[in-house]
Structure 1
Amino acid sequence: MPNDQSAPRQGAYPPLSPAAQALAARCESRVNELARHMARETFEELPGYADLPADVKDVEIAATVRSGLRLFLRRVRDTQGRAGDFSLFRERAAQRADEGMPLHTLLRTHSAGAYVLWQALRAEATEGEEGALIELVDFLLRGHEAIIGAVAETYLDEQAALFAERREHHRSLVRGLLDGSLPPLRAFEELGLEGPTLVVHLQVPPKEVPTAPDVADRRRARRVQTVLDRSFGSGAVSLLGVDGGQVITALRADDPDGTRTGEELATRLRQVCGDTVRLAAVTAATAGDVPAAARTAADIVRVARACGRPPGPHRMDDVLLEYHLSRRNESSDRIAALLDPVGDRPELIETLRTHLEHRHDRRSTARHLGLHPNTVDNRLTRITELTGLDIASARGNALALAALLLRGNADGRPAGA
């Protein structure tokens, strides 16, 4: 490998013959000419290069070419020493990434430059210098390989850093829009949103997988993002974590309440994330309505889960009574406290939730929980004994449901206002 200060010096080249060094030395007077030729003629044939500003071609790129030519000639004279490193190539690669030049165009400039240098060496060679020319070509190609590696590595590192920076800025805009810390119209403009929108709250609980949790989280997040990209293209913005989040997208003219959009998205997400996906979609007429729509969508999902509804797309109409009962007021704490006597008995809480969801059908409840119907009866009796709630009565049923909702969802988090 050529002598790059950023890499070990193993694999240094054998010394070049005096004849090869003499042949290369005859090209030193042509460095400026070759640099101008590459920057203004050779590279013009590459896709996108002609669109670059003239000063970039005549100053930055020409200077980089001159530096590369001189570096090659210095290394020809001293193959074992430190004739220079690739720092300028790396610096320029980072600049080109920042400016948006495609990587393939950047790498082709280096390859085209190496070819022009080979042509110059061949033109300088005279009869009897064939061996020297072969030495120099071998030296040139090995050096070119190292330069290409350094340039590609730096470009990709810079591109990754820029992507992370843009993604975080994007997330901060969405976060500011949702929590109200940014003026809605400004956030809409910067995010490229306009008109009525649909705000979707996603909940994608992790599955038990043999891989490490962080690996599984990344895979699930990539799968969810892929589904969103295919469903909404570039017309949606999102704020996602490992277990879901919010998506804001344009409201479809053929789906004014977002019901079809939610059902289609849930179907696609189930195909890649399993049957535990929950979501709710709420419309927002203006940018200022988005925060409230996001809170409502999150509450619909929370309520649907808390009262034992199966995963899938949820609508307000599906949980209308439960949603109303989950709203907090002066009586909320006292109603929630009715279940305190069984608060440390998760099996009783889950049995109550499932029994209410299955409309007091003990056999259906037993099948869902994998229990014997008599076990369900025993648990329900125990709940009544400990709490005093007669869940067989209309009043007891309503109080039990309200208490479940006000105590929070299946994870025990408190219900929102």
Structure 2
Amino acid sequence: MPSDPLPERRTTYPAPSPAAQALAARCESRVNELARSMARDAFERLPGYSELPDDVKDVEVAATVRNGLRLFLRRVQHPQGRVGDYSLFRERAAQRAAEGMPLHTLLRSHSAAVYVLWQALRDEATDEETGALIELVDFLLHGHEAVIGAVTETYVVEQTTLSAERREHHRGLVRGLLDGSVSPQRAFEELGLEGSCLVVHLHLPQEPGTAATNVAGRRLVRRVQAAVDRSLDTRAVSLLGVGGGQVIVAQRTNDKDGLRTCEELCVSLRQVCGDDVRLASVTAATAHDVPDAARTAAEIVRISRACGRPPGLHLMDDVLLEYHLSRHDESSDRIAALLNPLEDRPDLIDTLRIHLEHGHDRRATAHHLGLHPNTVDNRLARITHLTGLDIASPRGNALALAALVLRGDVPE
């Protein structure tokens, strides 16, 4: 049952005539027979119904049908009175949603029950009771509309609640898998993953003032999640926030390196977040490899940003040298400190990053930054003066590049 039952909508119908009430009363003795007919015959033609356990058909379904039949007959006799509500229909709708029965199958079962009841009323009516039969059919269809509304509302509410709980459970498993608090084997089993998979790191543009706790942030996360689901179908699990996150998806047999998968995902995310989307993926051969793969993918994105690479899909081969230079050892702090004189001049750091990315092309750098080429020359001269690095030389270029990726300075 849903935690917050929906309010019943009470509708008043014209009272059936005594003739219609008498016709309905004659069907009351057939309630058990009709319930068995529906549960075992009429419903068997519905897709997926035959897969239900026998005890569900013989107990739950039959009881629900009997309740519906008696509710209809009581309302015919007492159309203005309190003769019962749709609570059992709602309870069964919530159970069917939890069991995974499709909504269309559930609704078709109610429509099939109405048809069987109509047949019973038709068979019971004499030629002189045609008017009474029409009254009952009208009454039946009005009641069916109300039942379908109650069942659909409850099913959708329950399914939405279950979906949110399932997604949050999956988020917890992904978080535990990445931080080591959940065993990889257990996480993969509960997430429905097996074999090798792609671990994707996403970096998304974040509007000022957008946070996961405010309305705009929650909407953004929902849109991003919808884009991931749309692109990767149900094969992916994720841990997302307003700034990005991780996605784990089973590898496609025809896309072992994951390139096509990531390209499709990038297209979907750009439609939601704009062009400033970055992602990288690393293959994890087993569940135990996922944490390292996630760290590597995040590092590829970080280095790509630090080096001024344009947004989009980043591959390890794109930053192979930079990745190698960014590994920390005894010399790392001293190399990173070479750019300390520029800490108060972020414009100079940006100019250096863009200049290196554009292969020392001063005009391309100027165009990217919206500056005059002479301004770029002046900034580069200032960088050399403050740091002592001659970035025009192979050694100075390599040191500047290594310093950028070791510092991790990235544009906001």
- Listed as ranges, the matches of 1:34-183 within 5 Å are 34-183=34-183
Distance in 2 of aligned mates of 1:361 and 1:315 = 24
What's the offset of the Cα at 1:213?
A: 6.1
Work out whether residues 203 and 245 of structure 1, in 8 Å CA contact, stay in contact via their aligned partners in 2.
no
Q: Output the aligned Cα RMSD.
A: 3.1
Question: What does residue 265 of structure 1 align with?
Answer: 261
Amino acid at match of 2:250: T
What's the offset of the Cα at 1:338?
A: 4.7
Work out whether residues 196 and 285 of structure 1, in 8 Å CA contact, stay in contact via their aligned partners in 2.
yes
What's the offset of the Cα at 1:378?
A: 2.8
| Length-normalised TM-score, structure 1 | 0.83
Residue by residue over 1:16-49, the C-alpha shift from the partner in whole angstroms, topping out at 9 and shown as x without a partner, is 2222222222222222222222222222232232
| Length-normalised TM-score, structure 2 | 0.84
Deviates more, 1:177-186 or 1:290-299: 177-186
Cα distance change on mapping 1:217 and 1:346 into 2, 3 Å: farther
Distance in 2 of aligned mates of 1:144 and 1:138 = 10
Asked whether 1:219 is paired with 2:223, we answer yes
Work out whether residues 197 and 248 of structure 2, in 8 Å CA contact, stay in contact via their aligned partners in 1.
no
Cα distance change on mapping 1:336 and 1:173 into 2, 3 Å: same
- Listed as ranges, the matches of 1:3-402 within 5 Å are 6-9=7-10, 11-205=11-205, 214-215=218-219, 217-229=221-233, 234=235, 236-242=236-242, 243-250=244-251, 255=256, 258=257, 261-262=258-259, 264-274=260-270, 275-329=275-329, 332=332, 335-387=335-387, 389-392=389-392, 396-402=396-402
Work out whether residues 194 and 250 of structure 1, in 8 Å CA contact, stay in contact via their aligned partners in 2.
no
Cα distance change on mapping 1:189 and 1:271 into 2, 3 Å: closer
What residue ranges of structure 2 are gaps of 5+ in the alignment?
Answer: 209-214
Distance in 2 of aligned mates of 1:240 and 1:213 = 11
What's the offset of the Cα at 1:118?
A: 1.8
Residue by residue over 1:194-233, the C-alpha shift from the partner in whole angstroms, topping out at 9 and shown as x without a partner, is 444443333343699xx9665455334322332223xxx7
Distance in 2 of aligned mates of 1:219 and 1:87 = 35
Distance in 2 of aligned mates of 1:349 and 1:221 = 34
Work out whether residues 5 and 84 of structure 1, in 8 Å CA contact, stay in contact via their aligned partners in 2.
no
Residue by residue over 1:221-269, the C-alpha shift from the partner in whole angstroms, topping out at 9 and shown as x without a partner, is 322332223xxx73x54444453523343385885xx2xx32x234324
Cα distance change on mapping 1:198 and 1:124 into 2, 3 Å: closer
Deviates more, 1:325-334 or 1:113-122: 325-334
Distance in 2 of aligned mates of 1:400 and 1:288 = 36
What's the offset of the Cα at 1:392?
A: 4.2
Count how many residue pairs are aligned between Structure 1 and Structure 2.
Answer: 397
What residue ranges of structure 1 are gaps of 5+ in the alignment?
Answer: 413-417
SS of residue paired to 1:83: coil
Work out whether residues 306 and 408 of structure 2, in 8 Å CA contact, stay in contact via their aligned partners in 1.
yes
Cα distance change on mapping 1:96 and 1:267 into 2, 3 Å: closer
Percent of aligned pairs sharing the same letter: 71
What's the offset of the Cα at 1:56?
A: 1.2
Distance in 1 of aligned mates of 2:52 and 2:125 = 35
Distance in 1 of aligned mates of 2:183 and 2:65 = 48
Work out whether residues 203 and 278 of structure 1, in 8 Å CA contact, stay in contact via their aligned partners in 2.
yes
Question: What does residue 212 of structure 2 align with?
Answer: none
Residue by residue over 1:285-343, the C-alpha shift from the partner in whole angstroms, topping out at 9 and shown as x without a partner, is 43322211221121111111111122343333432332233334566556545545543
What's the offset of the Cα at 1:126?
A: 3.0
Question: What does residue 415 of structure 1 align with?
Answer: none
Distance in 2 of aligned mates of 1:196 and 1:38 = 47
Distance in 2 of aligned mates of 1:226 and 1:192 = 18
SS of residue paired to 1:313: strand
Deviates more, 1:302-311 or 1:279-288: 279-288
Work out whether residues 266 and 278 of structure 1, in 8 Å CA contact, stay in contact via their aligned partners in 2.
no
Deviates more, 1:67-76 or 1:157-166: 157-166
What's the offset of the Cα at 1:153?
A: 1.5
What's the offset of the Cα at 1:93?
A: 0.7
Cα distance change on mapping 1:47 and 1:170 into 2, 3 Å: same
SS of residue paired to 1:410: coil
What's the offset of the Cα at 1:404?
A: 2.5
Amino acid at match of 2:363: R
SS of residue paired to 2:41: helix
Cα distance change on mapping 1:78 and 1:409 into 2, 3 Å: farther
